[in-house]
A = this chain, B = another copy of it.
Amino acid sequence: MRPADELRAAVETYLGSLPLHPELGALEDVLHYSLGSGGKRIRPVLCLAVAEAAGAAVERALPGACAIELVHTFSLVHDDLPAMDDDDERRGRPSAHVAFGEGAAILAGDALLAEAFRLALTYESTAIAAELADATLGMIAGQYRDIGVAPGDLEELHRLKTARLFVAAVRVGLEVAAVPAAERGEWLRFGDAVGLLFQTVDDLLDGDGYVEQMGRAATEKLAGAAALRAREALAGTAVDAGVLSGLVDALAVRTG
């Protein structure tokens, strides 16, 4: 099993040399700018670690893992737009619409989503692209609740907006490793728990979401319970999940 740092490096290399559609022209710069903003690549690393733990070669999982990162990046580019969260900065740099203009950012987000499918469609089966479409629509449904047009339950909002892509990362990893449907139960519970863990820790760091709704102590408790559920689910998968266990630890204590 490769350590998480090696998996992250594999993702960076793959994304850095990703052959984008040959006719994008200068729009390619906006895509590369957005993809190269130095995130932690948690979703694709999770996908690669699941695939490897379940018996697949990391290389075989890279297109699927990076397709998820493209969907995540598309969502950030559109989320930052003035009509959405109106964020001028993303990870310490001007957001795409500040650096390249609003029209270019809209089109770059669109192109990132289409490129994600192009990547997911390099597999022989339609299953990985279909999971990506389903997860993308769930995530968009969560973003719609988040912009306040139809505010719903906070837990549902998070399950859709944030956790859905974590679940997709796990599912794509299982699909690449051809894990039979009957053996996926614990893995999917693991994906759900990791998604909730990520979101609760995020809210603790930002002081919003769950923290606003239920207070810091209760959110810490929720995060602890999610981490425990993730570890228990991992133990139930009966594979050597050392790297994944380390990922859970890192998510539980992350500070940014």
Interface residues of A (CB under 8 A from B): 21, 23-27, 74, 78, 81, 83-84, 100-104, 106-107, 109-111, 113-115, 117-118, 121, 123-126, 129-130, 132-134, 136-138, 140-141, 143-145, 147, 149-150, 152, 160
Contact = CB atoms under 8 A, between A and B. Distances in A.
A117 B128 CA distance: 12
A124 B126 contact: yes
A149 to B, nearest CB: 6
A234 to B, nearest CB: 27
B25 A150 contact: yes
Nearest to A142: B23
B126 A106 contact: no
The secondary-structure label for the interface of chain A is helix
A150 B143 CA distance: 31
Contact of A27 (B103, B109, B141): B141
A109 B23 CA distance: 22
Each complex incorporates copies of this chain amounting to: 2
B141 A118 contact: no
B26 A103 contact: no
Nearest to A74: B110
A141 B103 contact: no
A132 B84 CA distance: 27
A113 B160 CA distance: 18
Contact of A144 (B24, B130, B137, B150): B24
A101 B78 CA distance: 15
Most buried by B among A25, A78, A123, A138: A25
A59 to B, nearest CB: 20
B84 A140 contact: no
Nearest to A145: B25
A147 B81 contact: no
Contacts of A141: 21, 23-25, 27, 111
Given A23-B160, A103-B84, A117 B133 contact: yes
